[in-house]
Amino acid sequence: MSGKKFSQDHEWIEMDGDIGTVGISDYAQEQLGEIVFVELPEVGATVAAKGQFAVVESVKAASEIYAPAGGEVVEVNGALDDAPETINSGAETTGWIARIRVADPGELDALLDDAAYREFVSGLED
């Protein structure tokens, strides 16, 4: 798999070997507004595909973040503890939430590629 894959819940995953870096999309952070807190998952935790593994709180609301694929959390973006607004400025880059060792790469087949996700999002804005 090359490039990011997106869920219809607005999470993204980008694979490097069996490790997937996960975050929320630019669209999601725009909808949430100013992010003020991120509840990160625990390193070593096992997450299920489509299972909640983090929470992002903005001035508007709290939003559950779902894992686009199941596996073990191997790293979290600790910088978000002190600067949760990093998600607003770099949702699909420096604002990543966690890295997961993906147990079943086949789960990624259900996700959207960049072009399909952009088309999905544009349908939401009509």
Average pLDDT of the residues in 82-95: 97
User: What pTM did the predictor assign?
Assistant: 0.94
Q: How large a percentage of the chain has pLDDT more than 70? A: 98
H helix intervals, 46-92: 79-82, 86-90
Q: How confident is the model at residue 125 (pLDDT cuts 50, 70, 90)?
A: confident
115 φ/ψ sector (left φ>0, alpha ψ -120 to 50, else beta)? alpha
Overall average pLDDT of the 40-51 stretch: 97
Q: 96-122: buried (b, 16+ CB within 10 Å) or exposed (e) per residue?
A: bbbbbbbbeeebbeebbeeeebeeebe
Q: What is the mean pLDDT of residues 57-79?
A: 96
| Mean pLDDT computed over every residue of the chain | 95
The pLDDT value given to residue 88: 97
* Terminal Cα distance for the chain, rounded: 30
For the chain, the structural domain boundaries read: 18-124
Q: How far is CA 104 from the centre of its chain?
A: 17
pLDDT at residue 3 in the model: 87
pLDDT at 1: 42
Q: Which CATH architecture has domain 18-124?
A: Beta Barrel (2.40)
- Burial profile 42-52: b = 16 or more Cβ within 10 angstroms, e = fewer: eeeebbebbee
> d(Cα 9, Cα 75) in Å, to the nearest integer?
22
Rounded mean pLDDT, 10-32: 97
